[in-house]
Chain A
Amino acid sequence: DTAVSQTPKYLVTQMGNDKSIKCEQNLGHDTMYWYKQDSKKFLKIMFSYNNKELIINETVPNRFSPKSPDKAHLNLHINSLELGDSAVYFCASSQVPGRTEAFFGQGTRLTVV
């Protein structure tokens, strides 16, 4: 039973399209995150949601928008995709940010062509 699941695992799309990546956690955690693995393999946080409220919004383009229909879901919507958006995106969740471990989804490899 997967704790944090995200779909799709692979996404290939053309420039200019709008796409969404879905994330669900069944751990009952209050906080969910989106991370981007950049070209240097760094994991960088994009967003953090706690009880459906955005508490972190890193310097990401406003083409990226997190949407959380409920505590167990945090979807990532991307408008007007650009070549530079190609990366692996990871969803994660934790119970007490910092004090408890983060659980990660398996990642979504986005390729923009």
Chain B
Amino acid sequence: ILNVEQSPQSLHVQEGDSTNFTCSFPSSNFYALHWYRWETAKSPEALFVMTLNGDEKKKGRISATLNTKEGYSYLYIKGSQPEDSATYLCAFYLNTGFQKLVFGTGTRLLVSP
């Protein structure tokens, strides 16, 4: 069974705080790791697709790093804003057997003004 684990499960921060979440995935047969942002009552939207060990990607105040050898990725949000409140999902692409994106349960972020 392939496990993609995210921590923490939920996080409550104040506006202006910087925060980070972790995604752990199998370190063997790595193909790609995705990060998605999922606001309540909307559909998941892609933030990053990461494929190379050591990848670091950035979109505005959000950035992500990737370590495929040890099987983890970090997502950072600098200076959190209330509009950043959402669930952040990571997904590991399994490229063997039944190829598919395997999603973690997400980290639910709440940013208070």
Contacts and interface: CB of A to CB of B under 8 A. Distances in A.
B105 A101 contact: no
A1 interface: no
A97 B99 contact: yes
| Band of interface residues on B | 20 to 34
A83 interface: no
Chain B interface SS verdict (over half): strand
Nearest to A91: B43
A56 B89 contact: no
B23 to A, nearest CB: 14
Interface stretch (B14-22, B44-52, B62-70, B72-80): B44-52
A8 B42 CA distance: 15
Contacts of B95: 98
Interface stretch (A11-19, A38-46, A60-68, A70-78): A38-46
A84 B45 CA distance: 27
A111 to B, nearest CB: 16
| Band of interface residues on A | 20 to 34
A78 B22 CA distance: 37
16 contacts: A41-B87, A42-B105, A43-B44, A43-B89, A43-B91, A56-B98, A56-B99, A58-B100, A97-B99, A98-B93, A98-B95, A99-B49, A101-B49, A103-B46, A105-B43, A106-B42
Interface of B: 31-32, 34, 42-46, 49, 51, 87, 89, 91, 93, 95, 98-101, 103, 105-106
Interface of A: 4, 40-45, 48, 55-56, 58, 90, 97-107
